[in-house]
Structure 1
Amino acid sequence: MDQARLQHVLAPEWMGDPSALSMEELRARRAELQEVEVTLSYQRRMAQGRLDIVAAERHRRDQGDAAPAPEAVVAHLTGILAPNTRGQGNGRLSQLLAPEPTEAETPELDAIAGANVLASLPTLSDEDLDRLIEDLAEFEAGCSRSRRALHDRIDSLQGEVVRRYRTGEASVETLLR
């Protein structure tokens, strides 16, 4: 996620007063917010998946089980990841289900738990594993906070669009032209 873009759309001056914007500008800003939200949603899902994998390693250790062979870990990934496929979000279905390829890169998340870290989970100390869980949970929570802020802005812009249609300031006919 381009942090500069996220900070830009979350800045108070970017939002301004929705009632002062043209319909085209309202729609354009709403679309931009939705694009950023899709990227954040993707990153949150990626973080949650990695957190599930790390938590499974913590559970394995707590149970006193031996470290599995790499092929056994791969075979169990579906079982590790499937229980949390339904998020705790607000149930919104995004118009865009995946971000653009350049936006799908996750350097911040990879710095916390990239492929090499995930591949070496059995060799991490308990302290490092617990720190990894904390760092992933913090990253996921940050994504969730930012998504909530984006949803608040999307709702505000959408509310202004609806208000204009209800009061007659905008008409459906203008959409058909």
Structure 2
Amino acid sequence: MGRDQLQRLLDEEYLAGLAEWPTAEVRTARATCEAEEEAVSYARRIAQGRLDILRDELERRSRGDAEVADAGASDVLARLPAILATDQPPADPMRARATRLRVPAEAEAYADEVDAAVDEGFLAELSRRPTEELSAAVDRLAALEHELSAARRGLFDRVDRLRDELARRYKDGSAAVRDLFGDR
């Protein structure tokens, strides 16, 4: 999977002629897009978490909290619950997507991209890193997170279109729900 698969799925022509596709192919495409979205979302969450940690460190420094400058990773761990907490509800709860609690098999390639931007070793040594280096890491991660968010939205669009096509087929009778259960 990875970037080649993602580019194929996000290509404008990917769903061309969707109304003529066999129903089994529509279901397979939906499952493929959902799996890729899950992998992209996983990597995006990793990037967001690392961004939150880096931004918190930059904010701590801007406040002049020098007394904890030598605490290192243990200080970050102590602050982690507050750093990663969010009070923001989804923009549109009706369009919210379920958060999955597993590491998708397809996520490795995207997680490697996050590691290439800022790996765990970098985070473990935050207090020893110059502020300029932290700022550059924030820029790299923010750009990657933005790219992953755009890909995720594109995949949501594909999944929605594929689901809509399946729903249309079930409604008009050109596909039967019983086909989902195989020969019983």
Q: TM-score, normalised by structure 1?
A: 0.88
Q: 2:21 maps to what in 1?
A: 21
Determine the C-alpha separation between the residues in 1 that align with 2:33 and 2:5.
Answer: 10
How far apart are residue 88 of structure 1 and its match? 6.0
Whether the 8 Å contact between 1:112 and 1:135 is mirrored in structure 2 is yes
Give the alignment of 1:14-93 within 5 angstroms.
14-66=14-66, 67-70=69-72, 71-83=74-86, 90-93=95-98
Check whether the contact 2:42–2:107 (CA below 8 A) recurs between aligned residues: no
Tell me the distance in 1 between the aligned counterparts of 2:101 and 2:162.
18
The percentage of counterpart residues that share the same residue type is 37
Following superposition, the deviation at residue 75 of structure 1 comes to 1.9
1:73-106 CA-to-partner distances (Å, cap 9, x unmatched) read: 2222222112379666841116784302x63451
2:120 aligns with 115
Of 172, 180, 184, the residue aligned with 1:175 is 180
How big is the shift at 1:17? 1.6
1:98 maps to which residue? Answer: 103
1:58-85 CA distance string (max 9 Å, x none): 1111100011513222222222112379
1:94-135 residue CA offsets vs partner (Å, 9 max, x unmatched): 6784302x6345121111110121122222222222221121
Q: Does structure 1 conserve the Cα–Cα contact (< 8 Å) formed by 2:44 and 2:148?
A: yes
For the residues of structure 2 that align with 1:88 and 1:42, how far apart are their CA atoms?
20
What is the distance in 2 between the residues matched to 1:37 and 1:57? 30
Report the aligned-residue RMSD: 2.3
Deviation for aligned residue 1:51:
0.3
Q: Give the partner amino acid of 2:180.
A: L
CA 81–57 in structure 1, closer or farther in 2 if over 3 Å, else same: same
Question: Aligned pairs, how many?
Answer: 176
After superposition, the C-alpha distances for 1:2-36 in whole angstroms (9 at most, x for unaligned) are 11111122223432221011110000000000000
Alignment match, 1:128: 133
TM-score by length of 2: 0.84
Structure 1 counterpart of 2:7: 7
Q: Which runs of 5+ in 2 are unaligned?
A: none
